[in-house]
Structure 1
């Protein structure tokens, strides 16, 4: 909760709506002085005041209580990606982390490697795109060869696995929601 600044959010929403502080204070039935103190972080509004401000600004009350995410934390530099190695497969995290409802990674599958011995399923829905190489994918009882530029959607709970029967490493860009690795 350390990244929450309610006053900054009130001011941001007020400015986005093109409201003066006097107009918002009047609508919310608080003094302009009190609104100024809230916006500068010198006073903490009560829940009731937050509800009134939310209504006046036409935003959900909970939006004032969400943590701010520094924008620098949203950028992932190519040379600074987090890597995981699981059973001979390398995963490069494209997303900054596993928080939220979506994660994206690049899975590198060396030649003559399989993602798992048996078909696996997970609760996440997945989209995969072949960046480089060729790969065999098993979807339930069917097998498909995907080449560079091909993609596949894997619905939640569909049993699947990846197998590289070729001589070149296959690189697969995939997104999964919710994140599950």
Structure 2
């Protein structure tokens, strides 16, 4: 917690914010923020998320293991669940240090959908590369449906309308490499990606 507190203080100063400014943005007291920055108190994850948003970084900016930064190799047994979205998409970052990197490599496990549902396509800046490791991924791209099998891949401009899901009864595992890296840019996309 002490390392996170000092990093918050550093980010706050880089953003030319006082403790009072951060307090007003988060609703957390100046006294609490001061104690946390100095490593004298702990913080709940929802409060840390408020701080992250106020400093224009993703929550993961503070949760990536500090001792992993600077390591170039990530062993398979070191991979940890980074986040779970909509109780269907389990994300693993495939890098120890995503800060100042241009692309975001992830392994994503997609749980089966209970029934075929209409999938809403969306777009965002950047590009995506998908490689299917296991299962059958259903990709929607520009209102067309594609079923991708193990060994299949897709590479497209993310500004095209797109989305993907698992319409089967078994787990789907994919590798996704995308730009921009929202951990570096402070952007957080909360859809299935």
Which TM-score band applies after superposition, normalised by the shorter structure?
Answer: 0.5 to 0.7
Instruction: Confirm or deny: 8 A CA contact 2:121 2:161 kept in the other structure.
Output: yes
* Distance of 1:120 and 1:178 partners within structure 2: 16
Q: Deviations over 1:50-77 (max 9, x none)?
A: xxxxxxxxxxxxxxxxxxxx98522212
After superposition, residues 57-96 of structure 1 pair within 5 angstroms as: 72-83=70-81, 84-88=83-87, 89-96=89-96
Decide whether aligned partners of structure 1 residues 97 and 73 sit closer, same or farther in structure 2, where only a CA change above 3 A counts: same
Q: TM-score, normalised by structure 1?
A: 0.55
Decide whether aligned partners of structure 1 residues 98 and 123 sit closer, same or farther in structure 2, where only a CA change above 3 A counts: farther
Aligned length: 112
* Distance of 2:178 and 2:160 partners within structure 1: 13
Q: TM-score, normalised by structure 2?
A: 0.52
Provide the alpha-carbon RMSD of the alignment: 2.5
Superposed displacement of residue 123, structure 1 = 1.1
Structure having the higher Rg: 1
Where 1:74 maps in the other structure, the secondary structure is coil
Unaligned runs of 5+ in 2: 1-67, 183-188
Instruction: Confirm or deny: 8 A CA contact 1:124 1:179 kept in the other structure.
Output: no
Unaligned runs of 5+ in 1: 1-69
* Distance of 1:170 and 1:154 partners within structure 2: 20
Where 1:172 maps in the other structure, the secondary structure is strand
Q: Deviations over 1:10-58 (max 9, x none)?
A: xxxxxxxxxxxxxxxxxxxxxxxxxxxxxxxxxxxxxxxxxxxxxxxxx
User: Which range moves more in the overlay, 89-98 or 136-145?
Assistant: 89-98
Where 2:77 maps in the other structure, the secondary structure is helix
Where 2:71 maps in the other structure, the secondary structure is helix
Q: Which residue of 2 aligns with 1:106?
A: 107
Superposed displacement of residue 98, structure 1 = 3.0
Decide whether aligned partners of structure 1 residues 151 and 160 sit closer, same or farther in structure 2, where only a CA change above 3 A counts: same
After superposition, residues 1-181 of structure 1 pair within 5 angstroms as: 72-83=70-81, 84-88=83-87, 89-99=89-99, 100-112=101-113, 117-180=119-182, 181=189
